[in-house]
Amino acid sequence: MTETESALHMHKELFGVFGDRSAFERERSPETFDRVVEGPTITAGVRNSELGIPGRTTVFQTPRGVCVLWGEVYPRQVDGMGLAQWVLQEYAKRGPDVLNELNGSYLAILDHERRDGLIATDCVRSRECYFSDATGTRLFGTDPSTVGKTVPDPTLAEEPLQELLHFGVVLDDRTAIAELQRIPFDSGLTAAETRRFDRFVYEPREFDYASELAERLERALSRRRGLPGRNGLLLSGGYDSRVALAGIPDIEAAFTVAKPGSSELAAARRIASQYGASHTQLHVDDRYLNTDAETVRYGHGIMESLHIHHAGYTDQMDVETIFHGGLADSLLRGHFLPISGIQLFDHECPPYSLDTDPDVGTFLTEIFGYLPASESLARTGVSTDESGTEFLQRRVAEVSAKYDARFDRKANEMALLGIQNQPSRSFRYHLGDNFIESCFVLDRELIEWHLATPPEHRNTKTFIRAMRKLDGDILRHRPPDRATDSYTLNQIGNFLQRVIPLVSGYEGPWPDRKELYEDRNLDEELFGDHPAIQELPWRLKLRINDINTWLDATLGQSPVDSSALVRSNPVQQPTS
């Protein structure tokens, strides 16, 4: 691999073709991979330092077929066989039904002479797989840049570009390159089609939600014990990440991105001390906002790199394995559920309750990160009579219609769309490429709990009860913005701290990114030749840099014309 190629490639990569080894070698050199396996219809290369670690990426090859399990998959020994060997054997017998036996965050390549070659995601598509047919041979891989580079004459996909700029995430299975697609949610890819599976379907029922969640959390955490090297944790002062400390005694070190003296930092230090882990503050400084290709690439051109809060600090995270509490708010605590209160003096006030008839498009537009100032952007690929919010609501409705058989009510519709299009996945992709990353919330048992629990019980109250069953002392040090178990009382307290003069309120878990943007003089660095773009809000400017940087690294140039991106007569909208 040349120095230039090395800079563009992910450290860990799965790449393949629906074809033989000669078709593979037309696209990639086998020397850039740790293993190249050839099945009846698929040839794939695997580059991953985790090969051979129990529960991580594993490969099995036989003259009759191959199996590659990429990511985090928990071993199942059957008659002395390894997991990949057993999966291939069962795939030959019963086809894709074998996927129901797998647990973890993974992609699976299954190719046997008795079955079609198949690449499958886990049930929440926690790891993306990109594919293209532009060369005449179907190519696929985990790094969209390397798959995108194979496209002979790439076309900018205007609607996905607008989704990223307006929304912070590209919806469903598209990318900013028209010839580059993603395997759809809970689906598989063959040489000729995509196949939908039905592992992620809401079927609410009655049971002891908190007790069952506690038992499943304990088993999920137990499965993830014993990962190699020094184990670390990205720790906040909130609820989610401390669960890993309570259930995984191997964790030796905790890391928190925070400013000195913040209440978030103080809480995290106390929690780490409670569980006997060392604690390191990752100081908020020039390293926090990363705008170069080395970081932006983890947004895959479909999500913001802003969510990679730790990107500038990997040299301080002296661990081999890293845990975190990501996705707990989405899967276990109802982040994508609409909670409404009474509107009073321009504020939402208690009592709070689950909104049973929300406007799905409006709610998701707001929660994903819609920026009103994006109305000022020129849009050539969408209807001219659509506002930005109308465009996004239309797209939400279009995506929802594809998956309407999976949910039974609007609350679960929003949860499905939120989980399917989680904007913060770039956070995990960076961790997974630089460490042995483990997201305990993606345990299959916890996902099944999510699907079986009615939305009115999928909340922080239930989660707290489960946490206390896991460890009765887990809330010895409370989150800085949640002095009680009551959502309503906490909201009242935080509101009063914000409005009462001379009372310091909770400053939030993240630093002032606008201030950091200005301190780094990123306008001059990124948009010195584009004064109209400099007038936009900082977050929209970072999204523009994300897509320009990713396209430039992938295609050798960005087809986005920054000088023409802002309308000459912009719609008057707020700028934040």
Choosing from 404, 420, 436, the residue where a domain stops is 420
Q: What angle do CA 233, 420, 206 make, to 5 degrees?
A: 85
Of 28, 107, 21, the residue nearest 68 (C-alpha): 107
Sheet containing strand 231-234, strands side by side: 278-283, 251-258, 231-234, 321-324, 436-439
Backbone angles phi, psi at 307, to 5 degrees: -75, -10
Contacts by residues 275-280 (CB-CB < 8 Å, ≥ 24 positions apart): 275/242, 275/245, 275/246, 275/251, 277/233, 277/235, 277/245, 277/251, 277/252, 277/253, 278/252, 278/253, 278/254, 279/235, 279/253, 279/254, 279/255, 280/253, 280/254, 280/255, 280/256, 280/316, 280/317
* Helix axes 388-402 and 158-167, enclosed angle (nearest 10): 110
Residues 435 and 300 occupy one common structural domain: yes
Amino acid present at 527: F
Residues 33 and 45 occupy one common structural domain: yes
Residues 182 and 115 occupy one common structural domain: yes
Confirm whether 576 is domain-assigned: no
Residues 532 and 450 occupy one common structural domain: no
Q: Which two tokens stand for residue 408?
A: 């039974």
Per-residue pLDDT, 244: 98
Residues 185 and 215 occupy one common structural domain: no
Which helix (H) or strand (E) element contains residue 176? none
Choosing from 467, 486, 511, the residue where a domain stops is 511
Per-residue pLDDT, 498: 52
- DSSP code at position 98: G
Of 512, 486, 482, the residue nearest 497 (C-alpha): 482
Count other C-beta atoms under 10 Å from residue 347's C-beta: 12
134 in Cβ contact with 201 (< 8 Å): no
Confirm whether 409 is domain-assigned: yes
Q: How far apart are CA 477 and CA 472, in angstroms?
A: 12
Per-residue pLDDT, 503: 45
Residues 44 and 183 occupy one common structural domain: yes
Per-residue pLDDT, 3: 36
Residues 182 and 83 occupy one common structural domain: yes
pLDDT digit string (tens) for the chain, length 576 residues: 433 344 457 999 999 999 999 999 999 999 999 999 999 999 999 999 999 999 999 999 999 999 999 999 987 666 678 999 999 999 999 999 999 999 999 999 999 999 999 999 999 999 999 999 999 999 999 999 999 999 999 999 999 999 999 999 999 999 999 999 999 999 999 999 999 999 999 999 999 999 999 999 999 999 999 999 999 999 999 999 999 999 999 999 999 999 999 999 999 999 999 999 999 999 999 899 989 999 999 999 999 999 999 999 999 999 999 999 999 999 999 999 988 766 555 555 555 678 888 999 989 988 898 999 998 888 776 666 788 889 999 999 999 999 999 999 999 999 999 999 999 999 999 999 999 999 999 999 999 999 999 999 999 999 999 999 999 999 999 999 766 666 566 555 655 555 455 444 556 677 899 999 999 999 999 999 999 999 999 999 999 999 999 999 999 888 888 777 887 654 444 444
Task: Write b or e for each residue in 177-197: b if 16 or more Cβ atoms lie within 10 A of its Cβ, otherwise e.
Answer: bbbbbbbbbbbbbbeeeeeeb
CATH of the domain at 238: 3.40.50.620
Q: How far apart are CA 386 and CA 556, in angstroms?
A: 32
Per-residue pLDDT, 431: 98
Helix (H) and strand (E) counts in the chain = 21, 19
Q: Which two tokens stand for residue 23?
A: 């078709």
Residues 101 and 126 occupy one common structural domain: yes
Residues 261 and 371 occupy one common structural domain: no
Confirm whether 220 is domain-assigned: yes
3-state SS class at 101:
helix
Residues 442 and 415 occupy one common structural domain: no
Choosing from 374, 394, 420, the residue where a domain stops is 420
Residues 401 and 485 occupy one common structural domain: no
Q: What angle do CA 208, 462, 321 make, to 5 degrees?
A: 105
> 534 burial class (0-12, 13-18, 19+ CB within 10 angstroms)?
middle
Confirm whether 95 is domain-assigned: yes
Per-residue pLDDT, 67: 98
Q: Which two tokens stand for residue 271?
A: 């929690």
Of 114, 130, 226, 224, the residue nearest 176 (C-alpha): 130
Confirm whether 352 is domain-assigned: no
Domain of 57 in residue numbering reads as: 3-155+177-196
Which helix (H) or strand (E) element contains residue 124? none
What total number of domains does the chain contain?
A: 4
Q: Which two tokens stand for residue 104?
A: 């973890």
Which helix (H) or strand (E) element contains residue 465? helix 460-470
Residues 249 and 264 occupy one common structural domain: yes
Q: What is the CA radius of gyration of the chain?
A: 23
DSSP secondary structure of 270-282: HHHHHTT-EEEEE
Confirm whether 351 is domain-assigned: no
3-state SS class at 93:
helix
Confirm whether 169 is domain-assigned: no
461 in Cβ contact with 354 (< 8 Å): no
CATH of the domain at 44: 3.60.20.10
Of 455, 478, 22, the residue nearest 242 (C-alpha): 478
